[in-house]
Amino acid sequence: MRQFCTGCGKIVDKEWSFCGFCGCRKADQVQEAKKPGPVVNHLGAGPHFEKATHAWFHSTTLASEPSFPACSKYDYDEKVLEKMVRMEFSFEILVEKVEQNWKNIKDEKERLHAVNDVMKDQQEQAERRLVSLMEEVKKNQSRTLEKVVIDSNNRLEQMNAAFNKIQG
């Protein structure tokens, strides 16, 4: 038996769970398809009355249908489009965040290069100071050593002189 899909209005098989045209679930949203029967004129009116009755029937049928059915034939397209718009909006936000992060990374890189340059200068100054201190230590060490040698020689001469005096 065939039925009408209330989503798109096409005729679908009763065994189907979903409309093959618009994707609407059929369980609650189908009406049995009826073959249109002959218009019976009980009042004996002419063909104009039949046309007017037919027009009235169609207008009441259209007026009773909801303006936005639960599942329109464009429902899938609308949902895909809505999802694409949401994704595009999310992507734009993501692009802005990536650009901001990229800018922050560039700024941090420049800051780190400046800090690195300052530290290199400080290291060079410390190395120069260390070299000059080492040279000064060598000079002081040499002077101290010379003084110790001279003092030792003087004492040794004094002791030799005293020893010679005692022996002599």
Distance CA 113, CA 75 (A): 56
* 42 and 105 assigned to the same domain: no
Residue 127 reports pLDDT greater than 50 = yes
**Separation of alpha carbons 135 and 12, rounded Å:** 102
How far, CA to CA in Å, does 37 sit from each of 4, 61, 98?
Answer: 17, 16, 66
- Same domain, residue pair 132 and 54: no
Specify the pLDDT at position 50: 52
Whether 94 and 146 share a structural domain: yes
Assess whether 162 and 105 both reside in one domain.
Answer: yes
Q: Are residues 84 and 148 in the same domain?
A: yes
In terms of domains, do 63 and 78 share one?
Answer: no
Say if residue 160 is in the same domain as residue 90: yes
Task: Please check the confidence at residue 163 and state whether its pLDDT lies above 50.
Answer: yes
Same domain, 35 and 78: no
Distance CA 14, CA 19 (A): 10
- Of 73, 108, 125, the position where a domain reaches its end is 73
Last residue of a domain, one of 50, 73, 96: 73
Residues 38 and 109 placed together within one structural domain of the fold:
no
Q: Which of 73, 100, 121 is the last residue of a domain?
A: 73
Number of domains in the chain: 2
Q: Which domain holds residue 158?
A: 74-168
Give kind and range of the element (H or E) at residue 87: helix 75-167
| 68 and 56 both lie in a single domain | yes
pLDDT per residue as tens digits for the range 1-57: 667 777 777 777 777 777 777 777 654 444 444 444 444 444 444 555 455 454 444
Tokens at residue 155, please?
């004492």
Q: Across the chain, what does the average pLDDT equal?
A: 77
Do 162 and 86 share a structural domain? yes
CA atoms within 13 A on the CB side of 165: 6
> Are 55 and 102 contained in the same domain?
no
Alpha-carbon gap, residue 30 to 14, rounded angstroms: 9
Global pTM value: 0.39
Strand order in the sheet with 11-13: 11-13, 2-5, 30-32
